[in-house]
Structure 1
Amino acid sequence: MGDHASGLLKVLFPHLTQVLIDSVARIGKSIRIAARCTAPTARCSGCGTVSSRVHSRYGRRLADTAVSWQETAIDLEVRRFFCDNTACVKKTFAEQVDQLTFRYGRRTLTLQRALQQVALALGGQAGERLAGHLAVPVSGPTLLRLIRGMDLPEVPELTVLGVDEFAFRRGRRFGAILIDMDSRRPVDVLPDHTADTFADWLREHPHIGTVCRDRGGAFAEGAERGQPGIPQVADRWHLLHNLATGLEKTVTRHRSCLKVREIEPAPVQAREPDEESAYERKIRERHRDVQAQFQQGLTIAAISARLGLDRKTVRRYARAATAESLMRERPSRTSALTPHKPYLARRWAEGCDNAQTLRGEIAARGYRGGRKSVRRFLNTLSRHNGPRAVPPPPPAVADVVRWIIGRSENQSDQARQDLKDVCGRCPEIAEACRLARGFATILRRLDGTGSVSGSLRQTSPRSRRSAPSATDFARTSQPSSAGLTLPLSSGAVEGNVTRIKLLKRQHYGRAGFDLLKRRILLAS
């Protein structure tokens, strides 16, 4: 049984194998382990001299990781030894147990490391709540102190360095994050995003081979000043974004070309419902019914009963030779709106069906009536003329830009046809489409070995006005050319910037630079 217990102790509690356990007791909801050190010698923490002369003994209480969801503490009896090295500044020293204790610590090394990981993952308040559930209670400020007490990792040898800015406070104060593009992990965080700070960092780390950055600005200047001639790679996404911005300006300047030719409106009846026709149709139907039954030999009384008509009416229809002889002239009714009905019909056919707007237009032409009359007339036009042919709305500027830059194989047939129609109506947009699509294709294929720069320099002045972002490429030369030939991207940097936003929110925006830097570097 003793061998099994010893083996179980080594497997489940390896940090307790170097001490002698005297007792294990459960006190309330916690577990207390009484133990003492048994090593015959100890090494001085000041000079490293091994000593066996015991000066005194004292007790330490160390919080340990929970056992079966119960708080656990170790009451450890520790010895102080004399240091026999006369040159050492320490006369006595306390022994430390490997994998169990550390200087001035009130918790075991295992629990210390576990709480550090909780703090790095969740921060102060959230980490405090989780630690309470894990039966290792600790306060939020203590967790933050654990983070601040951790050593920062050394900057490794880098082949490609990624750099981008992030906001401590949006629009006010910015920092910079530096990424190892091979491992996609952050290696350092700078307190600002100025060229001077970045240049100083590069001077301190001359082993950097290539800098992968965004569109330029301070990082381009800092890289050139910190390590003159260092290869710089402009991110392809930012180059494509610049291209989209230039295309948007170009298409906006020629917005009128996006409008589809208006459909010729069909002729509209500007009169009210044809009540005369309905009246004539009713007279003819009655005359036909009465004459048919009268020819069958029915009496006036019988026809009156069948059709539900007065006998005088039946007699008048029976005596009439034709239906036209029964019709009488009906005086036409006019209103204040009558002179304006042709104008309203034309405007309705053009697509305007807002009664308030049309009422204002005809009021300027002398109309003194109300909006309800205009609304009733518009409803009449809708009932008697059917749905009007409304021209399709023009495509949005953003849609045209997406059609130009997007992959044609991923677009619908309708989108390709719409882009073809737009280019057919506007030569400037057509030229911008040609240049932009060529540039986007080279970006995707990483085929920028000089051909793009030469072709863009040969474009006409009108073409440069059509695609400013594409022609500006010729002036960015080396960084942009590297972005067109090297398979490097700032995606890893952008992902870490998004992660920084999460870390900031966990601290409710109150994390100082030292704390935020450690969470960024140590929790990655």
Structure 2
Amino acid sequence: MGRTVRIAARCSEPNAPCPVCGTMSERVHSRYVRRLADTAVGAQVTAIDLLVRRFVCGNTNCAKRTFAEQVDRLTFRYGRRTVTLQRLLERLALDLGGQAGSRMAEHLAVPISASTLLRQIHRLEVPGVPAVEVLGVDEFAFRRGRTFGTILIDMHTRRPVDVLPDHTSDTFAAWLREHPHVKLICRDRGGSFADGAQRALPGVPQVADRWHLLDNLATAVERAVRRHRGCLRPLQPPVPDSEPAPETSAQQRVRDRWAEIRALRERGLQIQTISARLGLDRKTVRRYYHAAQVDSLLQIRIGGSSVLDPYKTYLTARWEEGCGNAEILREEIHARGYRGGRKTVRRFLNSLAERRGPVPGPQPPLKVGDVVRWIVGRPENQSETARQSLKDLCDRCEHTQQVSRLARDFTAMLRRREGHQLTDWLTRADDSQIKELQTFANGLRKDLAAVTAGLTLHWNSGPVEGNVTRIKLLKRQSYGRAGFALLRRRILLAN
């Protein structure tokens, strides 16, 4: 019928059981047509016009006088949809929420509003809390940084068993008193859950999460490395001696003229005779005549002096340090008395580059985050460059070397679950005189039993963190407007 598929059907069973007493009845009281919405057929809206009968209950002691027959796996009491469609809409509501579920239902040719989908969630029955032996607990934010709730996980099934409206120790302790079957509690380093568990079940062991221990260690290492960040700048390699610059044509003429005059002098000719033979001024001939070495003549500037001469030594040193910006160098020598222009400085820098070649700039300092990752991370997953950089840093900084040794010993103990070595490590941390690691060690002593269990047992809060991530997705699907009752149902019932 246009864009709709209509199916006419009727029940064929001769009798039906009473929903109250279960008595089978064949006595028909009346008939009526019941219209049921069903899943789409050929991407078209589908409806079933089902002719059902109303029977009379034959049990005189039953409170039900008449009842309508139900079709197994097709209808349910007071339902205007088939069982298949009802389950489909419930999954859409639980997995996608109101608005997203409504949009998906349009594509499935089962149009439904967002409010109706949310009502399907509220009609679902929340299962009771099972007997949990190993409990995982963590907090999550209803509103980031302001209001928080608590998620409780069965560590065997990795499924949530309950959601609490806050993250206080009183609420958690009250829940534990109602469920005394808990034998082990996996938690983070938060104090509220530790206090609540201690008050409600004082003899139950607690396990601190290894990821949080590693994160606390990384924070302490970062502060320790940052305190010695001056050591992060690598040693600069020595600048190789540059090759002597080639002689200019003027210098070559000076060298040839000195050799010529020197040869005439050795033949016994005087200055006046040499001047007349070469056509040179007597003063010029005299200077070459009395010069014992040609280098003394080459040191004399050909072409006159420059206003930049007093600053060339400084500019050469700065250029070798890696600064080749003419404007910056002009400002520096301007403060020293230079009154020339930037172009003069630029020409001098160009001449240095032509004679000596480009000078590599200084290597940048190491980043604190990279150093922390090299220290705390797995050595087998690091590149050879990272390992060499960390080794060079430890060679020139004894403080970082000590931090790296202690931190790597702790991470090895954590990954191998060798909790029996924790006491020795705490003593070494106190003797190291590194205040950041001493603070970290003092924090471990305050929760020593749970930390030791976390470094020994295989339990950790990974499944709990995964469920917290899933809660964030469910919250965002509701655009932050989901109340606690609706969010709790989605957390417990959604896959």
TM-score range relative to shorter protein: 0.7 to 0.9
Contact 1:213 1:219 survives alignment (8 Å): yes
Contact 1:453 1:477 survives alignment (8 Å): no
List gaps (5 residues or longer) in structure 2.
Answer: 257-276, 289-296
> 1:280, CA displacement in angstroms?
4.1
Contact 2:224 2:434 survives alignment (8 Å): no
Q: 1:116 aligns with which of 57, 82, 90?
A: 90
Letter in 2 for 1:185: R
Tell me which residue corresponds to 1:213.
187
Q: 1:384 aligns with which of 345, 351, 355?
A: 355
Tell me which residue corresponds to 2:406.
435
Contact 1:428 1:466 survives alignment (8 Å): no
Work out whether 1:346 is the aligned partner of 2:317.
yes
Tell me which residue corresponds to 1:258.
232
> 1:243, CA displacement in angstroms?
0.7
Distance 1:375 1:141, change over 3 A: farther
List gaps (5 residues or longer) in structure 1.
Answer: 1-26, 286-318
Report SS of the residue matched to 2:365: coil
Report SS of the residue matched to 1:485: coil
Work out whether 1:142 is the aligned partner of 2:116.
yes
Question: Structure 2: how far apart are the matches of 1:355 and 1:443?
Answer: 55
Q: How many residues align?
A: 461
Question: Structure 2: how far apart are the matches of 1:387 and 1:321?
Answer: 43
Letter in 2 for 1:365: R
Letter in 2 for 1:237: W
Question: Structure 1: how far apart are the matches of 2:324 and 2:164?
Answer: 61
| Correspondences of 1:263-342 after superposition (within 5 Å) | 263=237, 277-281=248-252, 330-335=302-307, 337-342=308-313
| Correspondences of 1:237-248 after superposition (within 5 Å) | 237-248=211-222
Question: Structure 1: how far apart are the matches of 2:246 and 2:279?
Answer: 24
> 1:236, CA displacement in angstroms?
0.9
Letter in 1 for 2:462: G
Q: 2:51 aligns with which of 77, 99, 102?
A: 77
Deviates more, 1:83-92 or 1:165-174: 83-92
Work out whether 1:199 is the aligned partner of 2:170.
no
Distance 1:133 1:389, change over 3 A: closer
Deviations 1:312-340 (A, max 9, x none): xxxxxxx9699x989999431412x3322
TM-score of the pair, normalised by structure 2: 0.82
Tell me which residue corresponds to 2:453.
482
> 1:444, CA displacement in angstroms?
0.7
Distance 1:345 1:89, change over 3 A: same
Work out whether 1:494 is the aligned partner of 2:474.
no
| Correspondences of 1:387-426 after superposition (within 5 Å) | 387-388=358-359, 390-426=361-397
Contact 1:436 1:470 survives alignment (8 Å): no
| Correspondences of 1:25-174 after superposition (within 5 Å) | 27-83=1-57, 89-174=63-148
Contact 2:374 2:390 survives alignment (8 Å): yes
Question: Structure 2: how far apart are the matches of 1:411 and 1:458?
Answer: 26
Tell me which residue corresponds to 2:267.
none
Work out whether 1:463 is the aligned partner of 2:437.
no
Tell me which residue corresponds to 2:259.
none
Question: Structure 2: how far apart are the matches of 1:116 and 1:187?
Answer: 20
Contact 1:198 1:222 survives alignment (8 Å): yes
Letter in 2 for 1:378: L
Tell me which residue corresponds to 1:190.
164
Deviates more, 1:214-223 or 1:84-93: 84-93
Question: Structure 1: how far apart are the matches of 2:175 and 2:463?
Answer: 20
Contact 1:180 1:187 survives alignment (8 Å): yes
Work out whether 1:515 is the aligned partner of 2:486.
yes
> 1:38, CA displacement in angstroms?
4.2
Distance 1:214 1:377, change over 3 A: farther
Letter in 2 for 1:374: V
Question: Structure 2: how far apart are the matches of 1:470 and 1:383?
Answer: 59
Question: Structure 2: how far apart are the matches of 1:371 and 1:48?
Answer: 105
With a CA cutoff of 8 Å and minimum separation of 6, indicate the structure with the bigger relative contact order.
2
Question: Structure 1: how far apart are the matches of 2:182 and 2:345?
Answer: 76
Letter in 2 for 1:346: A
Contact 1:263 1:390 survives alignment (8 Å): no
Question: Structure 1: how far apart are the matches of 2:454 and 2:245?
Answer: 72
Contact 1:435 1:470 survives alignment (8 Å): no
Question: Structure 2: how far apart are the matches of 1:172 and 1:373?
Answer: 63
Distance 1:372 1:233, change over 3 A: farther
Question: Structure 2: how far apart are the matches of 1:416 and 1:111?
Answer: 59
Contact 1:158 1:207 survives alignment (8 Å): yes
| Correspondences of 1:223-238 after superposition (within 5 Å) | 223-238=197-212
Q: Please, what is the CA RMSD of the aligned residues?
A: 3.4
